[in-house]
Structure 1
Amino acid sequence: MASQFELTRNITIGQYIPTGSIIHKLDACFKLLSFTIMLIAIAICGTYFGNIVILAFSIALFMLSRIPIRYGLSGIKPAIPFVVILAILQLLFYGSVASGGTVLVKSGFILITTDSLRLVVVSAMRFVEIILISSVLTLSTSTTELTHGMERLLKPLKYIKFPVHEFSLIITIAIRFVPTFAMEMEKLMKAQASRGAEFGTGQWWRIVKRTKDMFPLIIPLFNSAMERAEDLILAMEARCYTPGEVRSNYKRYHIKVTDIMVLLFSILFSILILFYPFPY
């Protein structure tokens, strides 16, 4: 039951662990570009073996970044209920709206085929791969580097008057607030439990009951989010931050050979995943 209140240890996206690995030293712009290319490969790849290769590659990234793989896998735990619901819906209803594959089970409106079974397995693997790769990106990149990297990557949009810096700052703050909100949710759950609320007493598969238990936390969490947003606004105004103004960078980023090699490797790896004729 105690583990039900420890949300922060299961949130890996938005954290930063400085280990000084080769992935930490890569340019944030190239990491973001490589991350985007990998996401495209994950979204398109629909074979078992292809996703197994991507999953192994995601685990290898944790080893290269010197981040415990057990910590990375813990980030999958909060998403398990959503993956289970999605898998059940796809398994029961995908076969009735799409043709193809061998029929395995047919009963009324329920039609399970080999294609629907493949979709369930591949979708679950995609979900895990996206969480792992996203965790590696944020765990190995500081907030400042992530903001500057996204700003440099979206720099061509400035020619159409798109607020690149403001957009990059908003996305970065949103990502970094994920563990903060998890910590706030953990405090609220402990406070409600001390007053007699039932948290962590039901089985994990009782999704409806667990969802109802979370309703009393929505309003306090929303109020806390607004208070933190107001504090952030005051802090930025105290530092004379003005949106839309031309800003200089304290630190200059230089492209290294390693960054180019990593980007080329990501492109070649994605091409291999997408075009190699995997048997299954």
Structure 2
Amino acid sequence: MASLESLRSVSIGEYLPTGSVVHRIDARAKLLISLILGVAIFAANGYLVNLALVLLLVAFLKLARLSPRFVASTVKPALPLILLLTLMQLLFYGEGPAGSTVYLRWGALVISSAGVRMVVISLLRFGGLLALVSLLTNTTTTSALHHGVEWWLRPLTAVGLPGHELGMVMAIALRFLPILGEELEAISHAQAARTLVAERRSRWQFIRRARRTANLIVPLFVSTLRHADEMAFAMQARCYQGGRGRTQLNVRRWQVLDTLSLALAVIILMTVLILHRLPLP
């Protein structure tokens, strides 16, 4: 039963009203800043630059009064899969470019310095993206995130694409992540109480876990459809007809804080692009 407790720790998509300065940044600015910093994370080609970006994003989490440990707990359920992918990347990356040191060679399996470097960079990028997504979703309400996405997609309405509906879908999808985590935990506890998933230690534990996961898929899918039906009925009861004629109750205006935050993100991206040309490890 202890292994099921980690299913509740899904912080991505959950709004945490800590009242920090990051919460006061406009959602439109946050979306653009997240895009810029995401480009910076993938543009960084060395583990030192990626490590600096991760530390900077951790500092931003502290500024937003969010616990980095709480944010990191999100990946706990997926930790075995992450470790498996990391091991496969380490073993099958190959020798890499000329000049790389080969630490181990066993048939087609090769562990080289280039492979180790790529694994470290991939893990740092994953940590940076996790912190970035948490900064966006944990400090922005669903309505603000929806209005921000809709504002950026508004030019698409000129070519016939529904910007309002696309923004609504993105915002709802993000907010459903913690709900699905709670549903998955509830289903797991219910099956464990009915002895459908026994927690016995054996050499076939991996197969047992795979079978348990398969038993969770169908109930979770049914629960997801039920939540979707309930939301559809609720929207119909409120006479929701898309974005036609809809206005905002609280209209956010672009402030100096938004401009300064956006300028800081641009400076970070430009610094990463400049360091990209240097032979850094």
Q: In the aligned structure 2, how far is the partner of 1:131 from the partner of 1:201?
A: 33
Q: Which amino acid aligns with 1:32?
A: L
Partner of residue 269, structure 1: 268
Q: Which amino acid aligns with 1:103?
A: V
Partner of residue 2, structure 2: 2
Task: Tell me if 1:191 matches 2:190.
Answer: yes
On the 8 A contact 2:42/2:125 being kept in 1, the answer is: yes
On the 8 A contact 1:24/1:140 being kept in 2, the answer is: yes
Q: TM-score, normalised by structure 1?
A: 0.92
Q: In the aligned structure 2, how far is the partner of 1:41 from the partner of 1:86?
A: 23
On the 8 A contact 2:183/2:220 being kept in 1, the answer is: yes
- Extract unaligned runs of 5+ from structure 2: none
SS at match of 2:111: strand
Q: In the aligned structure 2, how far is the partner of 1:247 from the partner of 1:86?
A: 46
Q: In the aligned structure 1, how far is the partner of 2:107 from the partner of 2:49?
A: 34
Shift of 1:92: 1.3
Partner of residue 245, structure 1: 244
Deviates more, 1:227-236 or 1:85-94: 85-94
Q: Which amino acid aligns with 1:66?
A: R
| RMSD over aligned Cα atoms | 2.0
Q: In the aligned structure 2, how far is the partner of 1:99 from the partner of 1:161?
A: 48
- CA deviations 1:91-111 (Å, max 9, x no partner) are 111216x54422222221112
Partner of residue 81, structure 1: 80
How has the CA–CA distance of structure 1 residues 150 and 202 changed in structure 2, closer, same or farther, with 3 Å as cutoff?
Answer: farther
Q: In the aligned structure 2, how far is the partner of 1:26 from the partner of 1:148?
A: 14
Taking every aligned residue pair, what percent have the same amino acid on both sides?
Answer: 34
Shift of 1:275: 2.0
Partner of residue 46, structure 1: 45
Task: Tell me if 1:26 matches 2:25.
Answer: yes
Q: Which amino acid aligns with 2:62?
A: M
Partner of residue 280, structure 2: 279
Partner of residue 159, structure 2: 160
SS at match of 1:78: coil
Q: In the aligned structure 2, how far is the partner of 1:267 from the partner of 1:78?
A: 34
On the 8 A contact 1:4/1:199 being kept in 2, the answer is: no
Partner of residue 121, structure 2: 122
Q: In the aligned structure 2, how far is the partner of 1:226 from the partner of 1:153?
A: 29
Shift of 1:151: 1.0
- Extract unaligned runs of 5+ from structure 1: none
- CA deviations 1:168-202 (Å, max 9, x no partner) are 10011011000101111111011000011336555
On the 8 A contact 1:92/1:111 being kept in 2, the answer is: yes
On the 8 A contact 1:5/1:189 being kept in 2, the answer is: no
On the 8 A contact 1:58/1:133 being kept in 2, the answer is: yes
Q: TM-score, normalised by structure 2?
A: 0.92
Q: In the aligned structure 2, how far is the partner of 1:202 from the partner of 1:229?
A: 38
Q: In the aligned structure 1, how far is the partner of 2:241 from the partner of 2:20?
A: 35
Q: In the aligned structure 2, how far is the partner of 1:148 from the partner of 1:207?
A: 44
Q: Which amino acid aligns with 1:123?
A: S
SS at match of 1:95: coil
On the 8 A contact 1:5/1:186 being kept in 2, the answer is: yes
Partner of residue 142, structure 2: 143
How has the CA–CA distance of structure 1 residues 270 and 208 changed in structure 2, closer, same or farther, with 3 Å as cutoff?
Answer: farther
How has the CA–CA distance of structure 1 residues 52 and 278 changed in structure 2, closer, same or farther, with 3 Å as cutoff?
Answer: farther
Shift of 1:80: 1.7
Q: Which amino acid aligns with 1:279?
A: L
SS at match of 1:105: strand
Q: Which amino acid aligns with 1:55?
A: V
On the 8 A contact 1:202/1:210 being kept in 2, the answer is: no
Partner of residue 112, structure 1: 111
The total of aligned residue pairs comes to 277
On the 8 A contact 1:44/1:274 being kept in 2, the answer is: yes
